[in-house]
Amino acid sequence: MYEWAKPGAKVVSINSDWSVVDDGKDAEGPFEGEILTIEQVMPFVGEGIYLRFLPFGEDLYHINGFKPLVEPKALPSVLTTLLIAPGKRIKNDQFDKGRVHDPV
């Protein structure tokens, strides 16, 4: 279920109230929307999985407060060319040979 939770993986914080996991005390933690890199994954029997992040020292944060960061894939070079230089003619060899394309 949490295969994405590995050291080095990037995550986004979806929680801003960390007092719940710190015995009700005001706890400094990642703000909602903050992107972090997992430093360590620590499973605790009966309590779930906790994550540690370098900027927060030894503090641990429950995995439910995060989701994996999904980075957009690179655009195919044809689309990049169109975005950078609209109206520029694209050579036939830039197209996927397995598809049928309308002539330019």
Q: What is the mean pLDDT of the chain?
A: 77
Indicate whether this model's pTM tops 0.85.
no
| pLDDT for position 52 | 93
pLDDT average, residue stretch 56-72? 87
Q: What is the pLDDT of residues 9-49, one digit of tens each?
A: 999 999 877 755 555 455 678 999 999 999 999 998 888 89
Residue 5: pLDDT band with limits 50, 70, 90: very high
Residue 88: pLDDT band with limits 50, 70, 90: low
Q: CA nearest 37: which of 8, 78, 70, 3?
A: 8
More confident residue, 69 or 72: 69
Percent of the chain with pLDDT over 70: 60
16, 68, 47, 55: CA torsion to nearest 10: -60
pLDDT at 3 over 90: no
Distance CA 26, CA 21 (A): 10
**40-45, long-range: CB < 8 A, 24+ apart:** 40/7, 41/5, 41/6, 41/7
